Structure 1
Amino acid sequence: MLIAQISDLHIGFDVDNPNERNLQRLNAVLDILIPMAPACLLVTGDLTEFGSLESYRRLHAALARCPFPIFAGVGNHDRRDEFAQVFTATGRDADHVHYTADLPGLRLVMLDTLDPGHHGGAFCESRAGWLRARLAEAPDTPTLLILHHPPIPTGIAWMTAFPQDPWVMRLESIVRANPQIRRVVAGHIHRALLRDWAGTTVAVCPSTSPQVALDFRAMADHPDGRPMIVDEPPAFAIHQWDGSGFTTHFGVASGQRALARYDLRMKPVVEHIMAEHPAPNA
């Protein structure tokens, strides 16, 4: 089963432009994902730049061509009320956008880490109580935990969380106590990365909008002109669930000129490889 993920779309960055570059970048990713026929698409926050109703409507229209379920959550650039007016199929209580969904043999838990007015994540006791209750409903079902802010240090000074952050500690204690959580997936960083955490793995999806520069230096006291956002290709993640574990792939939506194809010339090469490593059910 393939689970597609996109993140940090930032639709509406170019205000009043219905064909803005971030929308073009999103469409380039969808052109690749749709033929893969994933079981669903996760959209892990920062759907819009400013949280306007028009930007959510524009995004909803762009996603309408996807022939599979879409599970969307909110990030620090989103506004819950406007989001919920357009993405009406998602779950929401009085305060948070969080909900569960079931796929064959796998449970999805969408978690809200939005802290309005702040860049970083939040996970209050109210949300902790909700998550504990949802995990207690299916303690033996493999679970994918989905959120916007990854609760991990990234090494990128201005795009990171720290182990001593109260919200990180609260979430870690719950994840560590629930081994049915087989993977945590997030966005926010605008880069692809993986880290072991709380007895599982956190996989961070790169963005469909421009990426964050890969720079591990401390932030200077005075601006030094370093790149912060870079024009790397729009990207996505694919999480492959085989019933026992996840394999995560990251892909980009440009520069994919084919250098070899599965034709008569390549057929003997493929047959030789497959004969050396036959599939278990072959």
Structure 2
Amino acid sequence: MLIAQVTDIHLGFEPDSPGEFNRQRLDRVLDELAVMRPRPDMLFATGDLIDRGDKISYERLREAFSGLPFPVHYALGNHDARETFAEVFPEAPFDGGFLQYVIDAGALRLIVLDTLEEGRHGGAFCDARAAWFTARLDEAPDARTLVVLHHPPMEVGIAWMNTDPSEPWVERLAACVRGRSNIVGMICGHIHRAIATTWEGTLVATCPSTAPQVALDLRPIDPDHPDERNLILADPPGYALHWFNGRELITHWDTAEDHQVLAKFDANLTDMVRDMLAERPDPS
């Protein structure tokens, strides 16, 4: 199973520009995913879908994702607005007032969480959401499960974007997943960078943004003393591919740009490829 992910799209950052920079970057990624072989089985857009919570930007988002050759599923981030999203996406599977739902994809079960607290930059996960998540995990305790959410629950080292591990919402989420061996991973957005770690015994991977990326700077930051450090970079728009091989979740990251090709599989390389494949056991 191949799962594509885009995140932190931020449509409407230029509110009066349908062809804004962030839309152009999103289109480059979607154009690449649409012709990819093998084709992704589904695509997740994991929050900060738009920048200001407005209806026009959600309508432009819907138009941008229309016509793709695979289903698209959504999670909400801190720049989103539930009520406005629901108005433009009336089919969205809200439960208990939150955009939280389960997708049964056969070999893999996917649970989408809602970590939005409107008006707050960081994540949130209240008792009601924790109870819903626990119930979904308990109803299929042996199913291989991938968890999808916007905010990563771990500290990433970029001071102004960090999640504080002592935040109450983090412990609520941790209590839900602690000790569950069937969770194959958690995929997130929010940081605008590719990051991977283990948290509570499972893989957590964040996806780079289709919008501009956050600069990698691990120094402490003092909000009262601006130091001219880089914060946002116009690096190429990124995406993730999560491949579930039936045993493990493998995450790849790439960018939508013209890559400089140094080698192609032509007749000169057939011996090399044949020798490499011959080292592996015969699947029969």
Deviations 1:114-162 (A, max 9, x none): 0110100000001001101111111111111110000000000011112
Query: What residue number does 1:16 align with?
Result: 16
Q: Which runs of 5+ in 1 are unaligned?
A: none
- Say which SS state the counterpart of residue 47 (structure 1) adopts: coil
Q: Distance in 2 between matches of 1:34 and 1:142?
A: 27
Query: What residue number does 2:250 align with?
Result: 247
Taking structure 1 as the reference length, what is the TM-score of the superposition? 0.96
Query: What residue number does 1:226 align with?
Result: 229
- Say which SS state the counterpart of residue 138 (structure 1) adopts: coil
Deviates more, 1:88-97 or 1:250-259: 88-97
Query: What residue number does 2:101 align with?
Result: 99
Query: What residue number does 1:108 align with?
Result: 110
Structure 2 counterpart of 1:87, one-letter code: F
Query: What residue number does 1:34 align with?
Result: 34
Q: Distance in 2 between matches of 1:93 and 1:277?
A: 47
Paired residues in the alignment total 281
Deviates more, 1:151-160 or 1:177-186: 177-186
CA contact (8 A) 2:9 2:26 kept: yes
1:84 Cα offset (Å) = 1.3
CA contact (8 A) 2:95 2:101 kept: no
Superposed counterparts of 1:1-282, under 5 Å: 1-36=1-36, 37-220=39-222, 221-278=224-281, 281=283
Q: Distance in 2 between matches of 1:271 and 1:88?
A: 52
Deviations 1:80-107 (A, max 9, x none): 0111122233211352111111112111
Q: Distance in 1 between matches of 2:184 and 2:275?
A: 34
1:110 Cα offset (Å) = 0.6
Structure 2 counterpart of 1:254, one-letter code: E
Q: Distance in 1 between matches of 2:177 and 2:152?
A: 13
- Cα distance change, pair 30–60 in 1 and its aligned pair in 2 (3 A): same
Structure 2 counterpart of 1:13, one-letter code: F
Taking structure 2 as the reference length, what is the TM-score of the superposition? 0.95
- Cα distance change, pair 172–22 in 1 and its aligned pair in 2 (3 A): same
CA contact (8 A) 2:46 2:75 kept: yes
CA contact (8 A) 1:90 1:99 kept: no
Deviations 1:153-194 (A, max 9, x none): 000001111221111011011111432211011000000000
Q: Distance in 2 between matches of 1:215 and 1:84?
A: 36
1:258 Cα offset (Å) = 2.3
Structure 2 counterpart of 1:212, one-letter code: V
Q: CA RMSD in A?
A: 1.3
Deviates more, 1:45-54 or 1:156-165: 156-165
Deviations 1:6-37 (A, max 9, x none): 10000111111111111111111112212231
1:281 Cα offset (Å) = 1.9
